[in-house]
Amino acid sequence: MQVTTEKTGNRLLLRAGGRFDAAGAKVIGDALEQALTSGSHTVEIDMGGVDYLSSAGIRVLVTYSQKFTKLKGGLYLTSVNERISQLLEMTGLYNLLDNPEPVDGAGACSRALTFGGWTLTSRSIDPDGKFSLRHRGYEVVESPVPAEPASPEVLAFPAGTIAFGTGALGYDAADCTGRYGPFLAAGGYAACRPLAGDNDPDFEEYAEAYIPKLHVISGAVLTGSFAQQVAFESDGTPPVLSDLAGSFATLCGTPATAFVLAAECEITQGSALLSGSARPEGTDKTALTGSDGSRLCLVLAGGMTGRDGQIAGVHAVFFTYQPLRRHGRVKLKDTADALFGQDLLDVLPIAVLGESTPVPELRLLRGLAWIAPLGDAR
Q: What is the CATH number of the domain that holds 45?
A: 3.30.750.24
User: Can you tell me the distance from the alpha carbon of 244 to that of 119, in angstroms, rounded to the nearest whole number?
Assistant: 10
- The CA angle 121-125-127, to the nearest 5 degrees, is 105
Q: What is the pLDDT of residue 121?
A: 86
Upper half-sphere CA count for residue 77 (Cβ side, 13 Å): 27
Q: What is the pLDDT of residue 102?
A: 52
19 and 112, same domain (yes or no)? no
56 and 133, same domain (yes or no)? no
Q: What is the pLDDT of residue 318?
A: 94
262 and 343, same domain (yes or no)? yes
Peptide bond between residue 146 and the one before it cis (omega within 30 degrees of 0): no
Smallest CA-to-CA distance from 116 within 248, 267, 308, 312 is with 248
What is the crossing angle of helices 22-37 and 55-70, to 10°?
A: 10
Residues in CB range of 101: below 8 A, 6 or more apart: none
Q: What is the pLDDT of residue 301?
A: 94
347 and 240, same domain (yes or no)? yes
- The CA angle 157-160-161, to the nearest 5 degrees, is 45
51 and 132, same domain (yes or no)? no
210 and 177, same domain (yes or no)? yes
Among the candidates 97, 121, 141, a domain finishes at: 97
Please give the chain's pLDDT, 378 residues, in tens.
Answer: 888 888 876 778 888 888 999 999 999 999 998 888 777 888 888 888 888 888 898 899 989 888 888 777 888 888 888 888 888 878 877 777 776 655 444 444 467 788 777 888 888 888 888 999 887 654 434 444 455 455 788 898 988 899 999 999 988 888 888 888 999 999 999 999 998 767 789 999 987 766 788 999 888 999 999 999 999 888 766 667 877 888 888 888 888 999 999 999 887 665 556 654 444 344 344 444 555 556 789 999 999 988 776 788 899 999 998 888 877 788 899 999 999 999 999 999 887 644 444 455 678 888 999 999 998 654
Among the candidates 62, 97, 132, a domain finishes at: 97
226 and 314, same domain (yes or no)? yes
Among the candidates 97, 132, 158, a domain finishes at: 97
Q: Domain residues for 47?
A: 2-97
Q: What is the pLDDT of residue 310?
A: 77
